[in-house]
A and B are shown apart, each in its own frame.
Chain A
Amino acid sequence: MSIITQSIANADREARYLSRGELNTLHRYFERGAQRLRIAAIVTANIDTIVEKGSEKFWQRCQITPSNSGNLTFRSSCMRDQGWYLRLITYAVVVGDIDPLQASGIKGAKAMYTSLEIPLRNLVVCMDCLKEVTLDLLNPEDQEEVSPYFDYLIQGLTP
């Protein structure tokens, strides 16, 4: 579901042409398309750095956490999950909608992490670090674009 799909679906439900307001929204979306792609490209290129820095920051803030316990499996799965969430963020940025985040990043995630005995609070801290590190790489304009998605993610994971 992207912003385009959404407005078309809305219009279709009411059997009307796209309204002026919807066209304007789409207009803005297209205008910013290049910017969105640029953000996605930057994040994709720096994925390893971001995850590495992010986890360092995370372990500084949360020293007692499964991934910092010296267990190699925990450590690498933590980093894998970070990369995974970052990828979802890029999807969401490209599409301009929270749907990819929600569908595969937030629904059921709490239950999953709880059952894996991973403290959700630490996970939220981890996402916070990830957000900070990512935002460091971007210019203010891009930051404004990306941070809502991170916020939505953090909001969704907060226990």
Chain B
Amino acid sequence: MIDRTNGGSPPAHPQVFHTVPTAVIAEAEQRDRYPQQSELRELSAFFSSGQKRLEIAAALAQNADRIVAAGANRIFTGGSPMAYLERATDPIGLPGSGYYIGEDFLSAKARSKANLAQEPRSIDPTSGLMDWFKSLFAQGRPNAPSRFRTIDISKYGVVRMKRSMRDLDWFLRYTTYAIVAGDTNILSVNVRGLRGVIPEDVTLATVVALQEMQWKAAQYVDAEAKALVKRYFEVLITEYLVEKPNPRLRFGASKLHPGQPLPQSYYDSALPTPRLVIKPGLSETEKQEAIRAAYRQVFERDVTQIYGVALYDLESQVKNGQLSMKEFVRQLGCSRLYRREFYEPFTISRVIELACRHFLGRGLSCLEEFQTYFEVISEGGLPALVNALVDSQEYADYFGEETVPYLRKLGLEAQECRNWGPQLSLFRYSTPVRKVPQFVTTFAGQQRPLPNQHPYGVGNDPLEIQFGAIFPQETRHPKTQPAHFSTTSRRILIDSGLHNGRNGDRNGNTHWGRVPGTFGHPLLKLEPTHQPRRGNNAQGPYLDVARHSIEAVILGTYRQVFGRDVFDGQRQMVAETKLKGGEITLREFVRQLAKSRPFRRLYWENLYITKAIEYIHRRLLGRPTYSREELNRYYDLVAKQGFYGLVDALIDSPEYIEEFGEDTVPYERYLTPRGYAMRSPQGPLAWWKLRDNPDIAGDWMAAHTPRQPVKIRSTVDSVVASAPSARSAQIAMATATSQQPREMAQPASDQSTRTNQGAGSEQSPIVAGSSAPMSGSNAERPSASANDQKLPSSGTNPS
């Protein structure tokens, strides 16, 4: 399975902790209100104490080495623990910086260099002595419990020493962060439960070290700040001592998706969003707030009088306690307003996505879940879907009877990574605006190409491909999903000349016009007896040497098989002689050409396999490959039997025999608008240059082949006869030359509506069968092109 689609995943930067202002704002925002007076007071206290806290943080950061050294010296003996402290000065090499270099992977040279750089950070002996003196007189130095034993550095090992020192430093660092932020949340997110991670035997030592650091840190700040520092270290130690917390589990959405565990710290770091509940004992305002929250969850906005809702009855029932919150949400889902806002404007799959958001607070989890709900909604409509969601086990697990549903966002619980992008994007507030279903398109993008889809790219029409376009654009628009394409799809057929008895002129040329870039005459047929063809009786027997001589057939075959006229040295004289002598059929001749050295060099040796198959297929069968299945078959064939096997398979295929038989030169059978554009004089770019690019083959013909003025005059006469009042205009027209058909056509179109209507049916089939871009360009000047085509033929057929 290839995931070709970028799920539109936005980069998510989860907030890993919160501070006083963010917490206040988040709370206010969640309830859609301004910060309250109490909150403003809290903020104001936070701001006014800010200077003090910054000073403390700065002082601690400045003396970080000493503080850490104090803690370390307390628990380690037999060396200088500070020698093991590596402080990151350079972000490069740290995990998360992009290129993390594990220490074991350093080269010998780099390692010695790194060692040199880490000069043992010895504490200045005098200041150490001073510290020691000071500490003798300082009060309140913590006593270690009697169970505590110091750790010998040499026994402890280098790696563990480094880790321990790093951890001590990090504890201090997080403490300074927390002091700056004015919130202990950072500490709990980063430290909580570390005891369960760090080996059991050093728990006690760590606590002793932390207490020592706490005491030491207090030395560097003034009396007022001492209490603050002490408090944060207390929190640090308490959080450290917490048992390793149990991971929080995300309840499974379905049998296919058992729950996922989420670390406690992940949960702790989430912004505190209040869960609103409706209980009998609550005050009126609290109830009102919960009801508004329910509106915001279900309707994604506050619902007020202006929406013309008669939900007040329900509201009062909720307030009275007659309705539980669950029932209230259900009623909201079944309301007329919900139907109008979230059901009627959208396709069913979008409705399911949105309902999942509104009633379960999450996005769809998997395709299977979507299918379940799709079945529900197709059988019972929207109310059934709402009931299914509200009655689900998941709703009961998360929200129960009382809680207002909420969005289970990033940070609140584990998110499924396979729907990461759509989940987050669904939670953005403007989601109902998006008309394209988010999840279903993503699931559709995780596709293996359908059996009838062409493996290259995902264009609507795989018939005409550009060989370089194997790698589709990664960021495709969800609207341009591939259309299924199969052998039964309608496509443009190039006239093969087989039906020229019906709609061709005397020479067997159809007036559809020749598609520029196709080879020679549509049909070349080897007729050894050189008899005139049957089925052309109206014109009487005749022999067209240019088309039916054996030499012409041979040349035509070369053109078709090689794609061009070959040089004399490349001609297969032996095969030609045999064909002329009637020893081999034309089909055999084609086979020999295809197996010849020049052909092999041209279409096999220099190309990669897919392109080679594609070219040879076009040359010998006259059409591109249809689908992946077909190509797979050829890959298989080529792998097992090689080039000659492929040629044989194509020429012996039932399709070849049915289409071309033994005596017809293969011809190009299909052309798509895109391929047509690629062959047109200006190349594919000329699509947007409508004026330079003849938009139908007939137009192109009109510009390149001279016409017979006699026919045009007869047309004019017939028009004149039918509309004598516009005589002067017709006379003017009659004097026009045949080289300017468009100028003539314009005045005629005023009155001869009959002519125009007829033109529609007799237009080039290339136009009639073309797909959107082509008819789009054609629509620019319909009357002109129609009349170009029309004039000669209507002359012969005045009725």
Question: Residues of A at under 8 Å CB distance from B?
Answer: 1-2, 4-5, 8-9, 11-18, 20, 23, 26-27, 29-31, 33-34, 36-37, 40-41, 44, 47, 72-73, 76-77, 80, 87, 90-91, 94-96, 100, 104, 107-109, 111-112, 115-116
**A5-B19 contact, Cβ under 8 Å, with A16-B88, A26-B54, A87-B34:** yes
**Docked-complex contact B29 and A104, CB < 8 angstroms:** yes
Contact present for B47 and A111 (CB under 8 Å)? no
Interface of chain A, helix or strand or loop or mixed?
A: helix
Determine the chain A residues whose CB is within 8 A of the CB of B47 once the complex forms.
30, 33-34, 36-37
Question: CB-nearest residue of chain A relative to B433?
Answer: A115
CB distance from B376 to the nearest CB of A (A): 28
Pick from A8, A33, A109: contact of B430, CB under 8 Å: A109
B57-65, B501-509, B545-553, B703-711: which lies at the interface: B57-65
Q: Are B50 and A29 in contact (CB under 8 A)?
A: yes
- B180–A15 CB distance below 8 A: no
Alpha-carbon distance between A34 and B49 when the two chains are bound, in angstroms: 11
In chain B between 418 and 439, which residues have their CB closer than 8 angstroms to a CB of chain A?
428-431, 433-435
CB distance from A98 to the nearest CB of B (A): 13
Known: A2-B19, A91-B28, A100-B25. A14 touches B91 (CB 8 A): yes
A-B contact pairs, 26 of them (CB 8 A): A1-B22, A2-B19, A2-B21, A2-B25, A8-B19, A15-B170, A16-B88, A16-B89, A17-B173, A18-B177, A20-B58, A23-B54, A23-B58, A26-B54, A30-B51, A34-B47, A37-B43, A73-B307, A76-B304, A77-B306, A87-B32, A91-B25, A107-B428, A108-B428, A109-B430, A116-B433
Q: Give bound CA distance, A73 to B168, whole Å.
A: 61
Cα separation A90 to B304 with both chains bound (whole Å) = 24
Most buried by B among A87, A91, A96: A91
Give the contacting residue for A1; candidates B15, B57, B186, B307; CB below 8 A: B15
A-side contacts of B25, CB under 8 Å: 2, 91, 94-95, 100
- Interface of chain B residues 56 through 103 with chain A (CB within 8 A): 57-58, 60-61, 64, 87-89, 91, 94, 96-97
Evaluate contact between B21 and A95: CB separation under 8 angstroms: yes
Expressed in whole angstroms, the minimum distance between the Cβ of B32 and any Cβ of chain A is 8
From residue B493, how far is it (CB to closest CB) to chain A in Å? 42
Task: Please tell me if B587 contacts chain A, counting CB pairs below 8 Å.
Answer: no
A100 to B35, CA, bound (A): 14
By the criterion CB–CB under 8 Å, are B429 and A104 in contact? yes
Q: B40 at the A/B interface (Cβ < 8 Å)?
A: yes
Q: Are B34 and A90 in contact (CB under 8 A)?
A: yes
Give CA–CA (A30, B179) in the complex, Å. Answer: 14
Question: With an 8 A cutoff between CB atoms, is B44 at the interface?
Answer: yes
- B44 partner, pick from A2, A37, A47, A72, beta carbons under 8 A: A37
| CB-nearest residue of chain A to B173 | A17
Q: Are B34 and A44 in contact (CB under 8 A)?
A: yes
Q: In the assembly, what is the distance between CA of A112 and CA of B88, in Å?
A: 46
Q: Report the separation of the CA atoms of residues A121 and B434 in the bound assembly, to the nearest whole angstrom.
A: 21
Interface size in chain B (residues, C-beta < 8 A): 54
Q: Which residues of A contact B18 (CB under 8 A)?
A: 5
Query: Which of B64, B87, B180, B302 sits near A26, CB closer than 8 Å?
Result: B180
Nearest-neighbour CB distance to chain A for B131, whole angstroms, equals: 21
Q: In the complex the two chains form, is A41's CB within 8 Å of B57's CB?
A: no
Interface residue? B16 (CB, 8 A): yes
Cross-chain contact A33 with B17 (CB below 8 angstroms): no
From A4, A20, A72, A115, B21 is in contact (CB under 8 Å) with A4
With the chains together, A16 CA to B351 CA distance in Å? Answer: 49
Residues of chain A contacted by B60 (CB below 8 angstroms):
17
Known A-B contacts A8-B181, A9-B16; the reply to A26 vs B88 at CB < 8 A is no
Query: Which residues in B have their C-beta under 8 angstroms from that of A40?
Result: 34-35, 40
Q: A94-B43, A109-B430 are in contact. Are A17 and B176 (CB under 8 A)?
A: yes
Query: CA–CA, A95 to B60, complex, Å?
Result: 26
Chain B contacts of A73 at CB under 8 A? 306-307
Q: Which residues of B contact A2 (CB under 8 A)?
A: 19, 21-22, 25
Chain B residue numbers with a CB within 8 Å of A17 are 57, 60-61, 64, 173, 176
A14, B94: Cβ atoms under 8 Å?
A: yes
Chain B residue with Cβ nearest A84? B32
CB distance from A55 to the nearest CB of B (A): 15
Answer yes or no: B626 CB below 8 A from chain A CBs: no
Q: Are B180 and A41 in contact (CB under 8 A)?
A: no
The reply to whether B21 and A34 contact each other, CB–CB distance below 8 Å, is: no
Indicate if B24 sits at the interface (CB-CB under 8 A): yes
The docked-state distance in angstroms from the alpha carbon of A123 to that of B641 is 69
Shortest C-beta distance, B243 to chain A (Å), equals 25
The reply to whether the CB of B46 lies closer than 8 angstroms to some CB of chain A is yes
Task: Report whether A13 and B35 are in contact in the complex, using a CB–CB cutoff of 8 Å.
Answer: no
Q: Across the interface, which residues of B come within 8 angstroms of A23, CB to CB?
A: 54, 57-58
For B89, give the chain A residue with the smallest CB separation.
Answer: A16
Nearest CB in chain A: distance from B292 CB, A: 13
| Closest CB in chain B relative to A105 CB, distance in Å | 9
Q: Roughly how many angstroms separate A8 CA and B19 CA in the complex, as a whole number?
A: 10
Q: How far is the CB of A109 from chain B (nearest CB, A)?
A: 7
Partner of A37, one of B15, B28, B40, B180: B40
B475 within 8 A of partner (CB): no
A5 pairs with B15, CB closer than 8 A: yes
CB–CB B176/A18 < 8 A: yes
Which listed residue, B22, B43, B180, B429, touches A33 by the CB 8 Å rule?
Answer: B43
- Among B18, B430, B434, chain A packs the most CB atoms within 10 A around the CB of B430
A34 touching B54, Cβ below 8 Å = no
A112 to B430, CA, bound (A): 6
Residues of A close to B186: CB separation below 8 A: 8
Within the complex, which residue of A5, A44, A94, A111 is in contact with B24, where a contact is CB–CB below 8 Å? A94
Which of B87, B88, B177 has the most chain A CB atoms inside 10 A of its CB? Answer: B177
Across the interface, B94 reaches (CB within 8 A) one of A15, A18, A72, namely A15
Taking CB atoms, residues of chain B closer than 8 Å to A34 are 44, 47-48
Q: Give Cα distance in the complex from A18 to B21, angstroms.
A: 19
CB-based contact A30/B15 at 8 Å: no
Contact partners of B34 in chain A: CB under 8 A: 40, 44, 47, 87, 90
Interface residue from B28, B35, B44, B88 paired with A15 (Cβ < 8 Å): B88
